[in-house]
Every structure is written in C-alpha cells, then in structure tokens.
Structure 1
Amino acid sequence: MAAFLKWLGAIVAALFVAMVCLAVYFLARTGAFNSVQNLATEACAAIALEGVSAEDIVVDRARGLAYLSALDRRAKVGGRPSLGTVLKIDLNDVDSGPRPALAEDPEAFRPHGMSLYTAPDGQQTLFVISHRPGKSQAIEIFEMGDDGLFDHIETVTGDGLVSPNDLAATGPREFYVANDTGAESRFQRMQEQVFGAGFAKLTYFDGAKFRTLREDLASAGGIAVSADGGRLFVADTQQKRVRVFSRDKITNDVSLAAIVELDGLPDNIDIAPDGGAWVTAHASAFSLIRHFFDAADPSPSLVYRIALNDRGFWRADLKYASDGRNLSAGSVAVRYGDELILGSITEQKILRCKVPD
C-alpha cells in the first residue's frame, strides 16, 4: 500500500509540474509577460467613428480615399445583433469625416477583411469578407459606380471559405483567401490556440471555383499580394511570423520563399508603393483577450515594415508601437505618404500618424 501511495504521489506531482509548465508556456507564448514602449505615437490625429471600429482599411492612393470595414465588433463579441458597412474618408481633407462608401449594403452584412483591385483601365472592384449571421461565409464583390459609390454585383460562397479573415484580389473576380482556423475538432482547436498548430487553409478563387493551396496556416490573420504580383505575404498569426511566398502569375500557385519572425501576432498586411509590407501585430494575445472583456484594459499594438535588406534577406523593422493608450487592439496600418492610417478591432476611431520610413 505504501508503495502504491508513493507511486500515486509521484504521478500527481508529475502531472502538477506538467500543468504548471504548460500554463507558463501558454502565458509566455501569448505574450502575457510582454511590455511595450511607445514609439512614434506623438504625431497622431484621431478621426472618430460613431459606434463602429475599422478592423481593416484599404486605401486608393491615387484618389486619397481610405475605405474602412465598419462594424460594432464589441457588440458582435458580446453576442448582440450587429450589422456593418463600408465607410470612406477623404485623406486629402484633414477635416473629412467618415461617409458611406456603398450604394447599398448587402443582406446580413458583417464586414471583415477587404481588398481593393484597380484594373488597367482604372475600373475598381472592392472585395469584402462577410460573416453573415445564420448564413454561409461570403465574399461580397462591389464595383465603383459613376456616383463614386460601390455597387454590389455578386456574392461568392464556397468550401474555400472555412473561416475567412482576409483576402487579396488579383483580378476583377479572382482572389486569395486566408482562413483563421481549420480545426475540425475541439482537440484541434485547442492545438491551434495553445500550441499555434497550423490547420487553416490558404485558398484561391479563379472566378469560377475555389482551390486549396495550403492547409498548414497558423490562424492566418492577414494576406497581401505585392504590386508586381510576384509575391504573396501571409500572416501566420499564432506562430508570430509572416510567410513570404513566391507566386506564379500564370497558375497562381505559391511556394515558400522566406519566413519573417515577429515579436507579436501579425494581423493585416499593407503593401506600400515602395514594395515594403507594413504588418500590424498584437503584442500580447493575453492582453487582447482581456481587452475584449474590458475596454478599459489596454491591448498593445505594433507595426512592422518588412522588406529585403541590402544583402537580399527579409528584415522586419518596428516602426510604431503603442502600449494601448494611443491605440488598443490595432489590426491594420496602411502607408499613405509619410503617414500610417491605423485601425483597430475595437476602437471607435482611426489614427493618422506621421511615421518615418
């Protein structure tokens, strides 16, 4: 009996140590012990958004217009009914406030990631992910009308939209989709959240059907195609890194070219005119979760510029950092001149910040 109790005690002690180690690992991986020093937060001006936040922003640099994925995301997290829209802000007018960008909202519209495509003839197409309540996931497609508003022309659904978070358009009806989960069981979902396992799909829609290109993304939160179409950037969010793929412009297949490690969980990605990829990241998933439950609890935000250095290696440079008081839950940063246009999952404002290259 004594031997059995000794054996049982050893088992219990081992399990306790294992649980403590797992808890410490999880807290460390989610950034619970991270601290953030403010960087480039001084020269920022806020533009208020009434009752909504802008989780994603795309900019028409030629016209100086910013388009915002507008939704009351706190209401959505809290289980309260909430529909959204797309707003626009004239960046040429410092006094400009948000105005409607759509001629009419699609049915059950809950916008998330967006992509703006401009054809060689100047025709613009806006693609928006919609998490429609009670319906399948969808990509809503809009074309710019003569009145300066986007007209809804099509709703795309399909098995390539598992849990779409962001998309990158390559044509008037073609786009890549980054899904943020691929878990098919509670166990796989736990693996994604605790260990950063990669089960999510990268898919491509060719105008007729979806095709799966990868099934190993770690909760992809952002995606972007380079201006020349030769590279695809994907945020491997749970692994705190961005994957850089070489892209075949004929077949649309991709092959891994590089991995860029970050000190935060990357979200949306913007490609600047000089080719640099501006990546917004959450410094701490732990703080982000707490912020969802209590708006007064800040969630630090980071912005990196990823580019090739002089030796031909990919490098990530921190360009903006907020401890959460300037901007909490930052999810997107778009380069516009010498400014960053910053949006957030939860904050009912956007920021225009002067940030040097």
Structure 2
Amino acid sequence: MKTMKIIAIFCIFSLLLHVGLLLADSGVFSKVTLINPFNCQSVPGIPGAEDMAILGPYLVATSGYFPPKYPIEKTYLGGLVLIPIHEFQPVPEYLNLGVSFPFNPHGLDVLKIDEDLYKIFVVNHRPSKDSIEVFEFRLSTKKVKHLTTHFGAEIETANDVLVIDASTFLVSLDHSSRNHRVQMLENFSRIGWGSIFLFHNGQWRKIVSNLSFANGLAWKDHGKSFLVAEMLGKKIHSYDLRGFSARHNSSIPIDGFPDNLVFNPKKRDFLIGVHPKIFDLKNFAEGKISKSPTRILRLKFSQQEPKLETVFEDPGDMHSSGSVAIDPGEALFIGSIYESKILRCAR
C-alpha cells in the first residue's frame, strides 16, 4: 500500500510538473509589446489569409474558413485572392477557380513558367482527406484553370507545399492523423509525429520525420536546401535535399511558435509569422477571447550565426493570429488565420 501511494504521488507530481512546463513553454507568461515602425492599414474582405506568395505585380493569398472561428457550413467555400502590390489602398480580387469540389485552402506556393504563365500549388483541406490542387494562371488575362489534383494517404494532414518543378514538390504534415484526439495527444505531449513528404512522378516519399507540428516551408537554396518551421518545437530547421532524401543541417530556436516562412529575394532573408502565445491562438479560434498576438521575425543568414530581428509585434489589437508576412518592396503585408483582413504596412 505504501509503495502504491509513493507511485501515485510521483505520478501526480510528474503530471503537475509537465503541465507547469507546458504552460511556461506555451508563452503564457511571456510579454508581448507593440513594435510597429510602419503606417499600417487594414485591407478587408479576405477571411483566413493564412498564406501568401508573390505573383507578378500581385500577391496571391489563400482565403479559407478555418473552424472553429468560422461556422462549419462555410468551411469549404474558400478561394484564392489577388492583391495589387503597388496600390496604396489595394482592392482584393477573388479569382474564378472554376472548380466544383470543396475548397478550403491552407498553404500555397507559386511556380513561374514565363513572364505571363504561372502555376499555383495549394493545400486543400477536403471533408475527408487533404489534397494538393494545381492551377494555371495567366497574368495577362487573370484567367485561372484547374490542372490536376494530387491525392495520397500519406498526406492526411497537409499544411504547406514547396514546389521544386512542375511535377515535384514538398509537403509538410503537422500531425500524423486527422483524428482530433490523436492530434490533441500530439500537441500536449509534444510528440513529434509531423513530417515532410516529397512528391515526384506520382510517388510520395517521407524524407523528414519526428517534427512537432511541421508547418511553413521555404527554399534556402532552390532545389538544394530548404527551411521548415517546427511550430510546437519552436524551431526553424534547415535541411539539405539530396535526391529523394533530406539531411538535417541546423536548427534555430524561435521566441514563439513559427508558422509560415517567406523568402525575400531582394534582401536575401526570410520573414516568419510567429504566434507568441499558442493558447491565446487556440482560445481566439474558439471565440473565448477577443485577440491573439502577432509577431513577425526577420531571419538572415550570414557567414556567422543566423540573425533574428523582430520587425513587427502586436498584442492583437491591430492584427490577431498573424501567420504570414511578405515584403515585395513597397510595403509589408501580413496575413492571418482567423482575421477577415490582411494588413498593408507602408514604411
């Protein structure tokens, strides 16, 4: 009996310790300040702009209705939106995708074919399974054509996509299963069951394992090395791509929970959308609180150590659940998972 009491006390103590460490790690006690050296204005009419990419003189943004913030009946009514880069007060333009299947976009990437022709790769959360949708876009006419859908049992929880060429791309998976209970177990235990798959010529191959919520992807050197945001691991990992395998190169600790990564070819650096308080993000999504803070970091690689700089931080008063930032030159654009707008922040 005495032994059982000792075991019970030890188990309770271990559980309380884990909960305490989890709360501390989740940013509950971290401070979020206002860092905004810009002149920011809202661009309304774009719900759930979780990811964005440059498309000629435009940004193309996903517009998705992510539960529980949005009602379930809207979940598969998402779209893709064009946002003029050079306009001071841009007016979003929804593209006519011409598809009849459910569309709830998440991550996306753009492949430039020539000055007029682009291909857009999009993660689509369908009702029963995820897919990668490929669209053709002509800049001169703004016409979109759906080309193909890539399915696979391997990509049950797709998050982001990173294109190598027209038939080859990477996909990050944030969990091992769509099952809500399994995902909760992975989230709270920090078990690394997220992964990255390579798609080539109709075949899926797992090239990275054991990531705790694999999220945004970006090229460090196109086709040769890439970055992935391990959101619950609070790290950015660098991998070398070698044929059909990947070799871990380095890891960079992040103050917060990194979401999307966007490479800036002009400045040769990366912008990272970061959630400082992960429980605030969860509670904001569930409508329990009115805001969730946003942090944007700039990551630059030099001959020495990688350098991180906070370029924007907001407690959630101006912009909540910021997930992506992109800097095409004239302004900083910030998207969000659950807001119905993006920010355009002029210098």
TM-score computed with the length of structure 1 as normaliser:
0.88
Q: Distance in 1 between matches of 2:207 and 2:264?
A: 25
Q: Against the structure 1 CA distance between its residues 229 and 70, is the aligned structure 2 distance closer, same or farther, given a 3 Å change threshold?
A: same
- 8 Å CA contact 2:205, 2:244 repeated in 1: no
The CA deviation string for residues 95-134 of structure 1, in whole angstroms up to 9 with x for no partner, is 3311122342351111111001112565310001111114
SS at match of 2:223: coil
Counting aligned pairs with the same residue, the percent is 23
When the two structures are superposed, what TM-score results if normalisation uses the length of structure 2? 0.91
More strand by share: 2
Helix, strand or coil: the match of 1:287?
Answer: helix
Matched, 1:301 2:294: yes
Find the counterpart in structure 1 of residue 204 from structure 2.
210
1:222-241 aligned at under 5 Å gives the runs: 222-226=216-220, 228-241=222-235
Quote the residue 1:21 is aligned against. 17
Picking from 272, 283, 290, the partner of 2:283 is 290
Q: What is the deviation of 1:275?
A: 2.4
Which of 104, 110, 124 lines up with 2:104 in the alignment?
110
Give yes or no for the alignment of 1:56 onto 2:48: no
Please give the secondary structure, in 2, of the residue aligned with 1:299: coil
- The one of 158, 161, 167 aligned to 2:161: 167
Q: Which range is displaced more, 181-190 or 163-172?
A: 181-190
* CA distance in structure 2 between the partners assigned to 1:42 and 1:305 by the alignment: 15
The aligned residue for residue 141 of structure 1 is 134
Size of the aligned set, in residue pairs, is: 344
Q: Shift of residue 156 of structure 1? A: 0.7
TM-superposed CA distance for 1:316, in Å, is: 2.1
The equivalent of 1:266 in structure 2 is 258
- Find the residue that maps to 1:238 and give its secondary structure: coil
1:184 Cα offset (Å): 9.2
How many Å separate the matches in 1 of 2:281 and 2:312?
Answer: 18
Q: Give distance in 1, aligned partners of 2:282 and 2:273.
A: 17
What are the superposed Cα offsets for residues 159-187 of structure 1, whole Å, 9 maximum, x if unpaired? Answer: 33120000101112321000001259888
Superposed, 1:1-357 pairs within 5 Å as 4=1, 10-40=6-36, 42-49=38-45, 52-60=47-55, 63-74=56-67, 78-82=71-75, 83-119=77-113, 123-134=117-128, 136-145=129-138, 147-182=141-176, 189=183, 192-226=186-220, 228-248=222-242, 251-273=243-265, 274-294=267-287, 296-311=289-304, 313-354=305-346
- CA shift digits 1:311-350 (9 cap, x unpaired): 2x22222221111112111111112115221000101110
Task: Return the alpha-carbon distance in structure 2 between the equivalents of residues 18 and 259 of structure 1.
Answer: 29
Classify the secondary structure of the residue corresponding to 2:232: helix
Query: Which letter maps to 1:16?
Result: I
- Kept in 2, the 8 Å contact 1:227–1:275? The answer is no
RMSD: 2.4
List runs of 5+ in structure 1 lacking aligned partners.
Answer: none
SS of 2:279's equivalent in the other structure is helix
| Gap runs ≥5 in structure 2 | none
Contact 1:126 1:150 in 2 (8 A): no
